[in-house]
Structure 1
Amino acid sequence: MSTIYRSAAGEQELQRRYQEALDHWPVPAEHLRIPTREGETFVLASGPPDAPPVVLLHGSGTNATMWQGDIAAWSRHLRTYTVDVIGEPGLSAPSRPPLASDAYAQWLDDVLDGLKLTTTSVVASSLGGWLALDHATRRPGRVTRLALLCPGGLGRQRVGLLFKSLLLRPLGRWGMRRSVRSATGLTPAQAEPVLEQVALTFRHFIPRTERLPVFSDDALRGLDTPLLVIAGTDDALFDSSDTARRVRKHVPDATVRLLPGVGHAIFGQTDEVLGFLRG
């Protein structure tokens, strides 16, 4: 059993559900396994091989399925590489090196090298947003465009939700569903299509508890790539107003969108992101 799961049976159940989702991926895709210094990394490649590339990095507690609602539109115009982040419930290695190091930038170097990408655009969410921004600040010139949804490492990280989740967990299914709704900001009706899968994941998967390092003002000022940041005003995990303030101050050419009444789960931005990537 991998150390990121609560039991071998739980790991097998999540892997089975994920494989079913991959069998119904909305567009044709190549299944790639890229060797890296942190272990094997699973990548779904879709779209015309000669189209401009974009790498997709999901958030914590999920995998490539996070992008299944966007991939059909994006892969018509771009060569999409949907990466399963290491240490998360996908098909990549369970490795979790320290966030306060250059380990993840080196891992992404290996992934991009394995995909033969000298430069690429990146779209990333939450933890993936932190990984993408960390790589872009450490590797000037390698990321050509950077679109971040509810990214970590910019605004203040809220810790209250973690404690609330721990309190609700002993309440079983009801407590888990309540915790998921608190984290995502979705209403019960909005959340129903995804709630069961998220609740199942966190019954069996051990999430990261390490706080995301915050990027310095100097690191942000040193960004040399067009930047789009989209966040919800009601994000329960990160202070979106703080995120917007810092980006507008230190990356003045960036495009920042704050979505009123939206929590940490951001949907419906397919066209906005595609326009940015093609701009």
Structure 2
Amino acid sequence: MSVIYQTEAEGQWLRQRYSQALADAPVSNQQLRVPTREGETFVLACGPEQAPPLVLLHGSGANGSHWYADLPAWSEHFRVYSVDLVGEPGLSAPSRPDLATEASALWLDDVLAGLDVHTTAMVGMSLGGWTALDYAVRRPGRITRLALGCPGGLGAQRRWSILAAGLLMLLGPRARERSVRYLVGLDRSGNEAVLEEVMAVFTRFRPRTEALPVLSDDALRTLDLPLQVTVGDRDRMFDSSETARRVRACVPHAHVRVLPGVGHALTSQTGPVLEFLRGRVPHPG
């Protein structure tokens, strides 16, 4: 397990922290453990069991608590499955599927089979957005609606910015905070809890360092499902203008939202995403 953490003790500290967060979840829920070829996958399930399914995939360095602000509203309309990606600081297995192959899609096949879900709406953020997008291309018809926030795989990954921020993380608490604020695009005004959580994780966790594979234009053109893509125009992790341009060019029916003055961390998106998931976005943006 320590392969994804700085030490086993720090991994244990983060798992205990997450377990406490699960005890304080904002909605009534079930905690599921799904066997997959990559190892056990943890899923937080909430909402009416008879409601349409909605699968949530968080970004790098996160877990199911990423969606806590969204769960109360989304679970009124969907049976929500918040999945801890394997290889990330949640309660799933530490394995990391090879992103250059079908391995992530095969893992997600197993997760959906374990949940008895054949088709589903899906929301993905950053790495989770890449995972969802890769699955939509490889498994046409399985995703009914797809909402992506600052996804990988579309615009160029700003690896120099990420490297510079990683070096700052080594230089003490003040430099770590500057690094986190720079990368996620949040100041301290009203965002203290988010910043502190990110710093707590990334001083103990070893994120994936390989570049996310970029989907080809031909692959994007195969997407015939309802698609919403939301990016911040100040995203320092991915080229958001390129993301927006490619989606508009290759998936003209998609609803593309570029948020001015916003970085990689998207906040206050519960309502706009829910409107899309419920089919209330009338035309591409």
TM range (shorter): over 0.9
Of 251-260 and 157-166, the range deviating more from structure 2:
157-166
| Counterparts of residues 248-267 of structure 1 (less than 5 Å) | 248-267=248-267
SS in 2 for 1:87: coil
Which residue does the alignment assign to 2:136?
136
SS in 2 for 1:77: coil
Letter in 2 for 1:139: R
Q: Tell me by how many angstroms 1:104 deviates.
A: 0.2
Write the distance in 1 (CA, Å) between the matches of 2:79 and 2:167.
Answer: 43
TM-score by length of 1: 0.98
Please give the per-residue CA displacement for 1:140-179, whole angstroms capped at 9, x wherever unaligned. Answer: 0000000000000001111122221232123111121111
Write the distance in 1 (CA, Å) between the matches of 2:82 and 2:217.
Answer: 30
Write the distance in 2 (CA, Å) between the matches of 1:129 and 1:31.
Answer: 23
- Contact 2:152–2:212 (8 Å) recurs in 1: yes
Q: Tell me by how many angstroms 1:278 deviates.
A: 0.9
Write the distance in 1 (CA, Å) between the matches of 2:164 and 2:14.
Answer: 24
Write the distance in 1 (CA, Å) between the matches of 2:37 and 2:247.
Answer: 32
Letter in 1 for 2:167: L
Which residue does the alignment assign to 1:270?
270
Of 164-173 and 224-233, the range deviating more from structure 2:
164-173
- Contact 2:169–2:203 (8 Å) recurs in 1: no
Which residue does the alignment assign to 1:76?
76
Letter in 2 for 1:164: A
Letter in 2 for 1:86: V
Which residue does the alignment assign to 2:217?
217
Q: Tell me by how many angstroms 1:217 deviates.
A: 0.4
Q: Which has the higher helix share?
A: 1
Which residue does the alignment assign to 1:64?
64
Which residue does the alignment assign to 2:127?
127
- Contact 1:128–1:151 (8 Å) recurs in 2: yes
Write the distance in 1 (CA, Å) between the matches of 2:272 and 2:165.
Answer: 32
Letter in 1 for 2:97: P
Write the distance in 2 (CA, Å) between the matches of 1:195 and 1:250.
Answer: 35
Q: Which runs of 4+ in 1 moved over 3 A?
A: none
TM-score by length of 2: 0.96
Write the distance in 1 (CA, Å) between the matches of 2:37 and 2:169.
Answer: 35
User: Are 1:244 and 2:244 matched, yes or no?
Assistant: yes
SS in 1 for 2:171: helix
Q: Tell me by how many angstroms 1:33 deviates.
A: 0.3
Write the distance in 1 (CA, Å) between the matches of 2:186 and 2:132.
Answer: 25
Please give the per-residue CA displacement for 1:251-271, whole angstroms capped at 9, x wherever unaligned. Answer: 000000000000000011111
Q: Percent identity?
A: 61
Write the distance in 2 (CA, Å) between the matches of 1:125 and 1:209.
Answer: 17
Which residue does the alignment assign to 1:92?
92
Letter in 2 for 1:169: M
- Contact 1:124–1:148 (8 Å) recurs in 2: yes
Letter in 2 for 1:138: R
User: Are 1:47 and 2:42 matched, yes or no?
Assistant: no
Query: Unaligned 5+ residue runs, structure 1?
Result: none
User: Are 1:151 and 2:189 matched, yes or no?
Assistant: no
Write the distance in 2 (CA, Å) between the matches of 1:173 and 1:197.
Answer: 13
Which residue does the alignment assign to 1:35?
35
Write the distance in 2 (CA, Å) between the matches of 1:161 and 1:178.
Answer: 13
Please give the per-residue CA displacement for 1:51-91, whole angstroms capped at 9, x wherever unaligned. Answer: 01100000000000100000000001110000000000000
Which residue does the alignment assign to 1:11?
11
Write the distance in 2 (CA, Å) between the matches of 1:166 and 1:261.
Answer: 23
Which residue does the alignment assign to 1:227?
227
SS in 2 for 1:48: coil
Please give the per-residue CA displacement for 1:161-207, whole angstroms capped at 9, x wherever unaligned. Answer: 22212321231111211111011111122431211111110111001
Write the distance in 2 (CA, Å) between the matches of 1:166 and 1:30.
Answer: 36
Letter in 2 for 1:116: D
Please give the per-residue CA displacement for 1:101-155, whole angstroms capped at 9, x wherever unaligned. Answer: 0000000000001100110000010000000000000000000000000000001
- Contact 1:181–1:191 (8 Å) recurs in 2: no
Write the distance in 2 (CA, Å) between the matches of 1:162 and 1:235.
Answer: 11
SS in 1 for 2:111: helix
Query: Unaligned 5+ residue runs, structure 2?
Result: 280-285
- Contact 1:122–1:147 (8 Å) recurs in 2: yes
